[in-house]
Amino acid sequence: YCPVSALKDIAQMVSLEKLNIDGYKGNDITSLTNLKNLTTLEIRNVNIDDEQVNFIRQSLPNCEIILND
């Protein structure tokens, strides 16, 4: 479980290279686009739409995004 407030803090950790988000209860993860060093982003059990996923993919073109519902 990842509280909404934690994601804002994580988005400030610009040196992160890998991130796994599981059970985030919010519905907006676009703040993660600040993490330009990400090479892998795994998203599990998060209620986001295709538009957000596409936005993140465009914003982080060098990042592998793994989606698991």
Convert the pLDDT of each residue in 46-68 to its tens digit. Answer: 888 899 999 999 999 999 999 98
Q: Minimal CA–CA distance to 31: which of 5, 1, 50?
A: 5
Mind listing the pLDDT tens digit for each residue in 25-52? 888 888 999 999 999 999 998 888 899 9
Phi, psi of 68 (to 5 degrees): -135, 120
Q: Note the pLDDT of residue 1.
A: 55
Burial of 34 (0-12, 13-18, 19+ CB in 10 A): middle
Q: How far apart, in whole angstroms, are the C-alpha atoms of residue 23 and residue 4? A: 10
Sole residue written with tokens 């998060």: 46
